[in-house]
Structure 1
Amino acid sequence: MLPFTAEDLKAVRAETFIEHLDYFESLASTNSWALHTHCTPSPSERETSFPALVLTGNQTAGRGRGNNAWWSAAGGLTFSLVVDASQLGIPLEKQPLIALATGLAVCETLARQAPEHTLQLKWPNDVFIAGKKVSGILVETSASQPGLVVIGVGVNLNNSFLSAEAELQSLGTSLYETTGQKFPLAPTLIDLINAIENRLYDVAGDRGELMPAWRRYCLLTGRDIRINTGRETRAGTCLEIDDQGYLILQTEDGRERIISGTIEHF
């Protein structure tokens, strides 16, 4: 049985803001496909209407931040949204909030699916349940078309980590493994897309609702952490994630405001 039927795909188009949909039974990376296919140098060369969705039932070479890979197996939910930030009213300086908005949308959606379990956000773009990673987000832009943003989402929904490497089994989990329940792929995808849309409009509208909601799920607040910024590694206590999406780190030298990085220890 295919993960997504023709009726499923029809429902996705009808019940979300998606204008264009590419579906593959198997694909190496939805983000790579989206970047290479939809983020062409010139708008005149594109025939795609945005937002566009790239969806696969089986991602074989998913990518995470930096050099990380995204492990997935049958039953997982992997997709990429291609949005035109200017069309949504999101200026260039606010694009860093897109990853946080997406993470919050995923976290809130999964929290509704598993109300008896604790969902948390690890800055900047990981979703945790019961202390293990259940979802990751990878946001990328094209150098030639910075207004187009590719939002890659991987959710461990109905898959099992029994086939994963031992190291991954200790770090990750799925909604199924945590709750003991199976979840319908297409309705969950529709809920996720609609939640992401709503949070993207929060970024555009500057209503001050995004980051207070994000901080309610923050996994790192008050924890001693080590963060690699790409230039150096810093250690200290995470005080909060501020309204611009920066991590506020209390170090021996004082407070530091960090725009991006990889949490190496928490």
Structure 2
Amino acid sequence: MNHRILELLEQQSGAYLSGELLSQELQISRTAIWKQIKKLEEAGYQIEASRRLGYRLTGKPDRLSPQELTLKLQSKEVTLIKSIRCFDSVDSTQNIAQRLAEDGAPEGTLIVAEQQTSGRGRLGRKWVSPSGKGVYMSFILRPGMPLHFAPQLTLLTAVALCRALRSVAAPLDIGIKWPNDLLIGGKKISGILLESTAEEERLRYVIAGIGISVNLTADDFPPELHDIATSLRNELGKPLDRSEIVASFFDQFEQLYEVYQREGFAPIKMLWEALSVTLHKPTRLFLASGETIATPIGLNEQGALLARKSDGTIVPIFSSEQVPPAG
């Protein structure tokens, strides 16, 4: 009920909405309206009440809440997310999501935190997660597909996030570095980590973790990251609405997830290649077999990166670290 009240108040764009109209719209008493307003205020929303004019929304909490996220997701007609759990501080949203998945939590369970004390990225790296300035979230998928398709879901997630951030942070030129880092001008703004559990070679569940540097300032990054990391706020010159970013991501993800389940990997492959900043540039690759310089030219049908070596041979790469060659 309070989700609907919040939606109606937001539609007024700061103008008053009478208690009588709210009562008629929701078919509940004005006393019940008042009780729901109090619940919204307890959640951090600032609502001005006038005996003669009604209610108007004057401020929102500077935190991600189930109410705000649900409202944003509903506005974009996102149906994938079934349950939202928000925390002030956690060690890692991945850890919480994994425990919930083991306990049987359904696909579409979303974990969001204001702060992570041990946020992690690929290869065990730590993710900088200052309170209230980024998006730190994990969600559960149960695709029921063979284990070897898991890398494709990683690439799908990267495409969805890149498309969402390009939309909400236009005109920033955001691209994907193999396999799923998002960059602006060569600096990282987001990381994606997918962890899966399988049984008899089929995925039991996938935990998709996403960290986005949204409203961080330069002081929030340690000195060693100043040349390689940035935030949307730093690049755009103004803060962004974090709940809008979350909703935009799931809007894109849900559309692509449905396409993927219906048509396979080919459409995702095409979109990833179009958004990539990795392709057609000689790159130093660090592989299990050693270091080599090769030129990435695209993805194969399994989601591996195809790279052409100096002798003309093309090799598929499923996992590696890469940086531009020196000189």
TM-score normalized by structure 2? 0.73
Q: Using the alignment, how far apart are the partners of 2:287 and 2:212 within structure 1?
A: 25
Are residues 1:211 and 2:211 paired? no
**Does residue 28 of structure 1 match 2:91?**
yes
Deviation for aligned residue 1:239: 1.8
CA distance in 2, matches of 1:83, 1:111: 24
Q: Partner letter of residue 63 of structure 2?
A: P
Unaligned runs of 5+ in 1: none
> Alpha-carbon deviations, 1:67-126, whole Å to 9, x = none?
21111223101100111012xxx4433221111110111101111123322111001110
Alignment of 1:4-153 (within 5 A): 4-11=64-71, 14=74, 15-16=77-78, 17-35=80-98, 37-40=99-102, 45-46=103-104, 48-73=105-130, 74-86=132-144, 90-142=145-197, 146-153=203-210
Query: 2:125, 2:291 → 1: CA distance?
Result: 18
Report the counterpart of residue 304 of structure 2 in structure 1: 246
| 1:197 matched residue in structure 2 | 254
- Checking the alignment, whether the CA contact within 8 Å between 2:66 and 2:84 is kept in structure 1 is no
Separation (CA, whole Å) in 2 of partners of 1:180 and 1:126? 22
Amino acid at match of 2:203: P
| Post-superposition CA distance 1:40-92 (Å, at most 9, x none) | 2xxxx52x222110110111211111121111223101100111012xxx443
Structure 2 residue 279 is matched with structure 1 residue 221: yes
| Equivalent position to 2:232, from 175, 190, 199 | 175
Q: Distance in 1 between matches of 2:73 and 2:308?
A: 46
Q: SS in structure 1 opposite 2:68? A: helix
What letter corresponds to residue 122 of structure 2 in structure 1? R
**Which has more radius of gyration?**
2
- Tell me if structure 2 keeps the 8 A contact 1:97–1:203: no
CA contact (8 A) 1:117 1:130 kept: no
Work out the CA distance in 1 between the residues paired with 2:113 and 2:127.
14
Say whether residues 1:3 and 2:63 are aligned partners.
Answer: yes
Aligned to 1:160: 217
Report the Cα distance in structure 1 between the residues aligned to 2:106 and 2:254, rounded to whole angstroms.
16
Matched-pair identity in % = 25
2:66/2:85 contact within 8 Å kept: no
Any idea what the Cα deviations from partners look like across 1:191-242, whole Å, max 9, x if unmatched? Answer: 1122122222232222532111111111111111122334533321112223
Please tell me the root mean square deviation across aligned C-alpha atoms, in Å.
2.1
Change in Cα spacing, 1:114 to 1:22, as seen in structure 2 (3 Å) is closer
Contact 1:13/1:21 (8 A) holds in 2: no
Rounded Cα–Cα distance in structure 2 between residues aligned with 1:161 and 1:100 = 29
Per-residue CA distance 1:109-162 (angstroms, 9 max, x = gap): 111123322111001110111221111100001356832000000111111232
Give 1:13 shift: 6.5
Following superposition, the deviation at residue 179 of structure 1 comes to 0.5
Q: Which amino acid aligns with 2:188?
A: K
Deviation of 1:176 after TM superposition, in Å, equals 0.6
**Distance verdict in 2 for CA 1:13–1:234, change over 3 Å:** same
Q: Report the more deviating stretch, 21-30 or 112-121.
A: 112-121
**Separation in 2, partners of 1:119, 1:179:** 12
Write the distance in 2 (CA, Å) between the matches of 1:171 and 1:67: 18
How far residue 39 of structure 1 moved from its aligned partner, in angstroms, is 3.1
Contact 1:12 1:18 in 2 (8 A): no
Where 2:203 maps in the other structure, the secondary structure is: coil
Q: Which has the higher contact order (CA 8 A, sep 6+)?
A: 1
2:89–2:116 CA contact under 8 A, matched in 1:
yes
The verdict on how the C-alpha distance between 1:107 and 1:156 changes in structure 2, with shifts beyond 3 A counting, is same
Measured at CA, do residues 95 and 7 of structure 1 come closer, stay the same or move farther in structure 2, by a change above 3 Å?
A: same
